[in-house]
Amino acid sequence: MLSKAMQDAINEQIQKEYHSSYLYLAMAAHCEASNLPGSAQWMRVQSQEELSHAMKLFDHVVDRGGRVTLQAIQQPAAEYKSALDVFEKARAHEQLITAAIHKLYALALKENDYAAQVMLQWFVTEQVEEEKNAAAIVDALRSVGTQGTALFMVDRWLGER
């Protein structure tokens, strides 16, 4: 059985994952409007991935006899200065999500909730990959600048996702 504290914390994380999906979709819209279709594609895929993360948490609560309570999703920003700004904000967001996952894992440890620990281990590993990917894109964009042929090449690379 899932404790009330763990259930509430996972419900908060579900909200964060849905917000992440919404944020990446807003970033995709910005990239589309900025004629960066590869970056938009990358963000669309990321948005879908975040939805799958939310559902993984949702299913865990349901499987353990808990109650999912969906929370409001904050409206994300619609405008960014550049592709670099978009991906810097995406990287910062992933760092916030990593901190939230770590906090959730710490609660699972405190509660001796072994099932949640096992499930959350997947998220801990996933966040390492998420931060690594975002950092690599930020590094690439910093190298090429905010416009020109090199930016076009990075955008094409991102569209391959």
Question: Does the pLDDT value for residue 146 go beyond 80?
Answer: no
pTM of the model: 0.95
Question: Does the pLDDT value for residue 148 go beyond 90?
Answer: no
* pLDDT in the model for residue 91: 98
Question: How many domains does the chain fold into?
Answer: 1
DSSP, residue by residue, the chain: ---HHHHHHHHHHHHHHHHHHHHHHHHHHHHHHTT-HHHHHHHHHHHHHHHHHHHHHHHHHHHTT--------PPPP---SSHHHHHHHHHHHHHHHHHHHHHHHHHHHHTT-HHHHHHHHHHHHHHHHHHHHHHHHHHHHHHH-SSSHHHHHHHHHHHT-
- Assign 161 a pLDDT band (cuts: 50, 70, 90): confident
State the residue range of the domain holding 14. 4-159
Q: Tens digit of pLDDT for each residue in 65-110?
A: 999 999 999 999 999 999 999 999 999 999 999 999 999 999 999 9
User: CATH code at 123?
Assistant: 1.20.1260.10
* pLDDT in the model for residue 64: 98
Q: Tens digit of pLDDT for each residue in 24-50?
A: 999 999 999 999 999 999 999 999 999
